Amino acid sequence: MTNTEPRRRNRRGEGGKLREEIIEAALALLDEGGDERAVTLRSVARKVGIAAPSIYPHFADQPSIMLAVVQGEMAKLATVLHEAAQNAEQDGRSQLFAVCNAYLDFAREHPQRYRIMFGGLWTPSVEDTSITDADLESLGVDAFTLLAGVLGKCVEEGIAHRSDDLYGDSVALWLGLHGLAHQRAVVRKMPGPDDVGDRLITALAHLK
Amino acid sequence: MTNTEPRRRNRRGEGGKLREEIIEAALALLDEGGDERAVTLRSVARKVGIAAPSIYPHFADQPSIMLAVVQGEMAKLATVLHEAAQNAEQDGRSQLFAVCNAYLDFAREHPQRYRIMFGGLWTPSVEDTSITDADLESLGVDAFTLLAGVLGKCVEEGIAHRSDDLYGDSVALWLGLHGLAHQRAVVRKMPGPDDVGDRLITALAHLK
DNA sequence: GACATAAGCTAACGCCCGTAAGTTGACGAG
DNA sequence: CTCGTCAACTTACGGGCGTTAGCTTATGTC
């Protein structure tokens, strides 16, 4: 599990590579089934094959690593959703279901990652961490914007009932998806029928 | 913060009282704004005013304390929902909104508790904890049953569209509520309009 | 008042953690 | 070839944690 190789030092100017390796190590620790508590400076260092203090030049503290992880995963999620929209039939309904199901699939395939992306960066007080509120607020905007766009397309096509507040409806739709995704990520066996996802989407998108 | 009083020993046969005090201390630690990591055997002991090893006669380990906390809070939640249903007008629609809003209020008033009730007991492997799957599966059934009952009443009264699967619809409704409640509990400032809750309820209950 | 025992305490072990301070060694410029 | 410096290392300190083993003391009974 832990690398025993002495690890080849990076070339000059390539010190930044280690930053990527640290993030990947943190991801690996999560995927191995641990929760965020399994990601400590020391465990990450062990995984990468470096000494713990060698992390400092790249990250101020453990929350910073987590933030980087989450930012990376949010980008991946946005990409996945985008691809889903493009690969689907180009009508609103197909795209909506494609995007929503891609979202749910992402969460199902990486439960630990998902838990951290939405809620794992929570900290008692803002003071004792290097993460700012701005960091947190900018998370996930891309993915959400895409979702809202697809929902808007449905309204334009007349598939979904028009409402006075597309943004609010998009939030509601996302909250529904999130509820399901999070619950799946947190519970070993999810109760309820298999098509809960479709029901949520249909109801929250106000599909006709 | 920490009790300095030497704490009067419990009477003979009343040793069980300490169990309740431990649970209350854990709750207090949570409410003070810490996350579940703040609830350690030692911190709980400090809060109660006892020595750490004195916990062992009452709880096998930290997860056991958390389980007891969650069970207690689930009971409270069920009570709150029940009261909401009784105090509301006795028609389905009023009761539905009363129960759902009571749920959301509970989560808003006790974010830390809510986070632990739904997801905080997650552990990497079942092996290294004294919590069983049965413990987890029985959590929250009362509250859910109540919700499903009220939704059923709406269907009977013809307020909500009849579907072939009341249970599935109830799960979907709860998932929506949970998505909102959880997100509020995890984020400092929740985006979206103020009436997202009502939108979720209306859409997921299929109100006419 | 003696005494059995429930209720809780003290002390100590080993582990893992974050982090500070100083050190080594390879690379690349001059 | 020399030498600065970047990348990473070693060592070490202090602190919190869970847990074990054995001790103290109040309480209620006889």
CATH code at position B10: 1.10.10
Record: contact A199-B137, CB cut-off 8 A? no
Tell me, yes or no, whether A127 and A170 share the same domain. Answer: yes
Q: What is the DSSP string of chain B?
A: ----S--PPPPTT-TTHHHHHHHHHHHHHHHTT--GGG--HHHHHHHHTS-GGGGTTT-SSHHHHHHHHHHHHHHHHHHHHHHHHHHS-SSHHHHHHHHHHHHHHHHHH-HHHHHHHTTTT--S-STTSS--HHHHHTTTHHHHHHHHHHHHHHHHTTSB---S-HHHHHHHHHHHHHHHHHHHHH-SS--S-TTHHHHHHHHHTTB-
Record: contact A172-B136, CB cut-off 8 A? no
Domain end residue (candidates: A41, A59, A77): A59
Residue identified by tokens 């203090």 is A53
Residue in B with minimal Cα distance to A119: B186
From the list A122, A180, A189, the residue facing B35 with the nearest CB is A122
User: pLDDT tens digits for B179-201?
Assistant: 999 999 999 888 889 999 999 99
Record: contact B203-A172, CB cut-off 8 A? yes
d(CA B143, CA B80): 9
Residue in B with minimal Cα distance to A121: B186
Domain end residue (candidates: A59, A86, A108): A59
Mean pLDDT of B49-75: 95
B126 vs B63, which has greater pLDDT? B63
Closest residue by Cα to residue A72 from A117, A14, A134: A117
pLDDT exceeds cutoff 60 at B109: yes
What share of chain A has pLDDT > 70, as a percent?
Answer: 89
**Domain that residue A104 falls in:** 61-204
Q: What confidence score (pLDDT) does residue A18 get?
A: 84
Q: What confidence score (pLDDT) does residue A127 get?
A: 64
Q: What confidence score (pLDDT) does residue B11 get?
A: 63
CA angle B1, B5, B10 (to 5 degrees): 115
pLDDT exceeds cutoff 60 at B1: no
Mean pLDDT of B37-62: 95
CA distances from B208 to B91, B159, B204 (A): 15, 6, 11
Tell me, yes or no, whether B186 and B152 share the same domain. Answer: yes
Tell me, yes or no, whether B115 and B72 share the same domain. Answer: yes
Domain end residue (candidates: B37, B59, B81): B59
Tell me, yes or no, whether B38 and B115 share the same domain. Answer: no
Number of domains in chain A: 2
Tell me, yes or no, whether B103 and B184 share the same domain. Answer: yes
Q: What confidence score (pLDDT) does residue B2 get?
A: 45
Tell me, yes or no, whether B50 and B70 share the same domain. Answer: no
User: The pTM is what?
Assistant: 0.92
> What angle separates helix A166-186 from helix B166-186, to the nearest 10 degrees?
100
pLDDT exceeds cutoff 90 at B131: no
Tell me, yes or no, whether B69 and B4 share the same domain. Answer: no
Tell me, yes or no, whether A78 and A129 share the same domain. Answer: yes
Residue identified by tokens 């413990």 is B135
Nucleotides of strand C under 7 angstroms from a protein beta carbon: 6-12, 16-22, 26-28
Contact B156, B148 (CB under 8 A): no
d(CA B163, CA B180): 24
Tell me, yes or no, whether A11 and A109 share the same domain. Answer: no
Query: B135: domain CATH number?
Result: 1.10.357.10
Q: What confidence score (pLDDT) does residue A4 get?
A: 39
Residue by residue, pLDDT tens for chain A (208 residues) are: 433 344 555 544 445 568 999 999 999 999 997 889 999 999 999 999 999 999 999 999 999 999 999 999 999 999 999 999 999 999 999 999 999 999 999 999 999 999 999 988 887 666 667 788 888 889 999 999 999 999 999 999 999 998 889 999 999 999 999 999 999 999 988 888 999 999 999 999 999 8
Within 10 angstroms of residue A148's Cβ, the number of other Cβ atoms is: 17
Q: What confidence score (pLDDT) does residue A17 get?
A: 67
Tell me, yes or no, whether B1 and B70 share the same domain. Answer: no
